[in-house]
Chain A
Amino acid sequence: MKNIVEIKKFKMQFGRKTVIKDLSFEVREGEIFGFLGSNGSGKTTTVRTLLGLYQPTSGELLIAGKKFDPEDTSVVVGYLPEERGLYRKESVIDTMVYFGELKGLRNAREWSLKYLKRVGLLDKADERVEKLSGGQQQKIQLGITIMNNPKLLILDEPTKGFDPVNRRLLMDIIDEEHKKGCAIIMITHYMDEVERLCDRAILLKDGVARAYGEIKAIRKEFGGKSLDQIFIDVYGEAENE
């Protein structure tokens, strides 16, 4: 299987602080990849650098063999960032259509209305975004992320703050994208989600990979423990040190 993401010898420094020491991994086409690590371990920094929002100190970060270009429609990437927001004063439909058009979606309005119906927000289409609840706004953001059939979805804590019903809905949508052949990088602290959904994963600590590979292989490496326990063990080392 071909790689859609390749990160080679990635190093990132902010001033004197080294956030990523030496990181290399790949994400394969069509797989769901878990990107794990505690807060501040460098996951979001890695993703932002992959998407060109930061410049790496050294190393190579490629999507489909090249540096990410937001306007290159040959590789559509959907990104749901950790820091989320929308144009608060604009209507839901105008916001979605704007992003859809930027992403090259031809029938952005139709697609958006269909999506809003699917997530139960059709009656909110003409409402200002600021009138929506946090959960409703997250659904809009997810819609924007999956517009135009992305080949790669990067979801930074997608289910954070969702109630169980909406979490289920969200996971269904993510699953649909996966079935269409989309590769998904999922940054999450929910280890049960990773064990249930992900094919492979990487666990980041102190700017280096502490575990990387297929979920089964990682568990085997750590004596058959659950991912939850592995996470606690790896980060427990730091506490003990």
Chain B
Amino acid sequence: MNKPILKVTKFEIIRQLKKPSFWVAVLAMPVLIGIGLIISVVASAPQEATTISDDTKIAITDEAGIIPKDNPFALYATKDEGIEAVKENQVDLYYYIPADFTETKKVEAYRIQNGLGLFDQQTEALKGILAGYVEKEVTDLETLALTGGYAIEDIKFTSDGEISNAMGKAIVPAVFVIAFFIFVCVFGNRMLMTVVEEKENRVSEMILTAVSSKHLIIGKILALLALGMIQILALFVPLVIFMIANSGNEMMSAIMSMIVIDPVTLIICVALFIFSILLFAGFCTYIGAITPTAKDAAQFIGPIIIGVVLPLYFMQLMLSGEVNGLVEFLTYFPFSAPIALMGRVAVGSISTTGLIIGIVELAVLSVVVVRATVVSFQKNAINFSVALPKFLKKG
């Protein structure tokens, strides 16, 4: 690699590592992210999670004999017939109530996976249905049906009829979304300042006679990427060590066995992550390049970050797998595209063509924005007071 770029990168990395503020951010961020995610999940959880819409086609096999013959549901004699009906999209939701229901205290629910279904507890609606057919707690069966003291095992199929492991498949893309989110939160402001500081400190004239603006900007961006990796490792390495150390634990073992690492998904996520970071870095450094002071630059970081994290405000919609105008807008709008694309890869709600368009868009835009930053920095490097275009100035 080009030596001036490496020298700039090395200088920028070392000076940041020496700053206590960097380490405070590195260590505090995982905690803040965790709190934020918990709040987000709690706030996003639907209030009426156990209701089913009227147009949902429900089918039941009732070997226990709770449901009377005159009911509004399709009844199948065997479990296999019910499952087949689900796979062929003849019914939306199929319940299998086994003959030994009072002993196993378990009902099986089958349906097609739609989105991630993180907050989806529609299958729990069976408890209301069964309770509605029982008048008194006389037999064990009636007592169980009325009190709802049984579990409903939720089994989902992909559209191809395979057993779905949507959550397991979403873990890898979700890791990239979290990593990108951390990067944006921690390094957004730093990216703006790293370019504007040469102008603010009046160093730009001297530095540009020692290194080209192109190599200076690329060196700075690479340094920020490296620092971002340190931040991300600080979050994930302890987590991975914790998981490995507790792999003997039944719950941890179940979680680890659920994780699906698909090479194609991994490559897609890495590509999306790299171009997303480059694009975000490009936006931030561009603002730094066209603004004369840190104060001027700082007013832009808020709107940029809001644009980037916008898909998180619509998390429930993104996780549901529903595709509408808003989801498409968020997917291809340059600021929100990174998280929206990675989120849709996690949920599996984007087509191959849509994904290719998204990756190409991020790649092309990131190159264009970084190039624009280099040109703008060179042009405005010695404009210490008047650099902002008129429409961006206050008043």
A71 with B212: CB separation less than 8 A:
yes
Q: Within the assembled complex, what's the spacing in Å between the Cα atoms of A80 and B378? A: 18
Interface: B382 (CB within 8 A): yes
CB-based contact A98/B7 at 8 Å: yes
* Contact, CB under 8 Å: A87 / B212: no
B15, B197, B206, B209 pick with most chain A CB within 10 angstroms: B209
Given A98-B11, A102-B4: A87 in contact with B203 (beta carbons within 8 A) = yes
Given A83-B382, A98-B11, A101-B7, residue A70 in contact with residue B202 (CB < 8 A): no
B353 interfacial contact with A, CB 8 Å: no
List chain B residues, Cβ under 8 A from A79: 205-206, 209
- Please report the C-alpha to C-alpha distance between residue A7 and residue B203 in the assembled complex, in whole angstroms: 26
Encoded as 1 (CB less than 8 Å from any B CB) or 0, chain A from 117 to 161 comes to: 000000000000000000000000100110000000000000000
Report which of B7, B8, B197, B384 forms a contact with A83, defined as CB distance below 8 A: B384
A28 contact set on B, CB distance < 8 A = none
A78 to B209, CA, bound (A): 8
What's the Cα separation between A50 and B197 when bound, in Å? 24
- Is A53 interfacial (CB-CB < 8 Å)? yes
Contact flags (1/0) for B201-218 with A, using CB distance below 8 Å?
111011111111001000
Known contacts A53-B382, A94-B15, A102-B211; decide if A83 and B4 are in contact (CB<8 Å): no
A144 contacts which chain B residues (CB < 8 A)? 206
Q: Which of A51, A86, A101, A144 has the most CB of B within 10 A?
A: A101
Which residue of A has the minimal Cβ distance to B2? A71
User: Does A103 contact B210, Cβ atoms closer than 8 Å?
Assistant: yes
Chain A residues whose CB sits within 8 angstroms of the CB of B378 once the complex forms: 53
Residues of B within 8 A of A59 (CB): none
Tell yes or no: A48 within 8 A of B by CB: yes
Any chain A CB within 8 A of the CB of B272? no
Contact B4–A86 (Cβ < 8 Å): no
Whether B203 and A70, one on each chain, are in contact in the complex, defined by CB atoms closer than 8 angstroms, is: no
Establish whether residues B205 and A99, one from each chain, have CB atoms under 8 Å apart when the complex forms: no
Cα(A145)–Cα(B210), bound, Å:
10
**In the assembled complex, how far is the CB of residue A20 from the closest CB belonging to chain B, in whole angstroms?**
16
CB pair A81–B211 under 8 Å, yes or no, is no
What is the minimal beta-carbon distance from B197 to any residue of chain A, in angstroms? 7
Interface size on A, residues (CB 8 A): 30
- Specify the chain A residue showing the minimal Cβ separation from B197: A87
Beta-carbon nearest neighbor of B211 in chain A: A102
In the complex, A80→B4 CA distance in Å? 20
Q: Are A53 and B208 in contact (CB under 8 A)?
A: yes
Residues 181-216 of B, flagged 1 when their CB comes within 8 A of A and 0 if not, give 000000000000000010001110111111110010
Q: With the chains together, A48 CA to B380 CA distance in Å?
A: 13
Q: How far apart are the CA atoms of A103 and B211 in the complex, in Å?
A: 8
Complex Cα–Cα for A103 and B7 (A): 10
CA distance A81 to B204 in the complex (A): 10
- Cβ 8 A contact of A102, one of B15, B210, B381, B384: B210
Report whether B384 and A70 are in contact in the complex, using a CB–CB cutoff of 8 Å. Answer: no
| Closest chain B residue, CB of each to CB of A145 | B206
Contacts of A87 in B (CB 8 A): 15, 197, 201, 203
B215 and A48 contact, CB distance less than 8 A: no
Most buried by B among A48, A69, A141: A48
Q: Which residues of B contact A102 (CB under 8 A)?
A: 4, 7-8, 207, 210-211
Instruction: Answer whether residue A17 sits at the interface, using C-beta atoms and an 8 A cutoff.
Output: no
Assuming the contacts A53-B381, A98-B7, asked whether A70 and B201 have C-beta atoms less than 8 A apart, the reply is no
- In the assembled complex, the Cα of A102 lies from the Cα of B212 at a distance in Å of 10
A85 at interface, CB cutoff 8 A: yes
> Closest chain B residue to A97 by CB distance?
B11
Q: Which residue of B lies closest to A147 (CB)?
A: B210
> Closest B-chain residue to A52, C-beta based?
B208
Decide if B201 touches A85 in the complex (CB within 8 Å).
Answer: yes
A70–B378 Cα distance when bound, in Å, is 13
CB neighbours of A51 from chain B (8 A) = 208-209
Bound together, the chains give a CA A77 to CA B211 distance in angstroms of: 12
Tell me which residues across on chain B come within 8 A of A78, comparing CB atoms: 209
A192 within 8 A of B: no
Interchain CB contact under 8 A, A70 and B212: yes
User: When chains A and B are docked, how far (Å) is the Cα of A65 from the Cα of B115?
Assistant: 65
Residues of B within 8 A of A90 (CB): 15
Give every chain A residue within 8 A of B215 (Cβ-Cβ): 71
> Judging by beta carbons under 8 Å apart, are A84 and B7 in contact?
no
A88 interface residue per 8 A CB criterion: yes
A residues less than 8 Å from B382 (CB atoms):
48, 53, 83
Given A71-B211, A87-B197, CB of A48 within 8 Å of CB of B205: yes
How far does the alpha carbon of A194 sit from the alpha carbon of B266 in the complex, in Å? 67
A85 pairs with B211, CB closer than 8 A: no
Give 16 CB contacts A-B under 8 Å: A53-B205, A70-B208, A71-B212, A78-B209, A83-B382, A85-B201, A85-B203, A85-B206, A86-B203, A87-B197, A87-B201, A87-B203, A88-B201, A94-B11, A102-B211, A144-B206
Ordered nearest first, which 5 A-B pairs have the shortest CB separation? A85-B202, A81-B205, A102-B210, A85-B201, A79-B209
Name 8 extra pairs, CB < 8 A, besides A98-B11, A99-B210: A48-B382, A52-B208, A53-B208, A81-B205, A83-B205, A94-B14, A102-B210, A102-B211
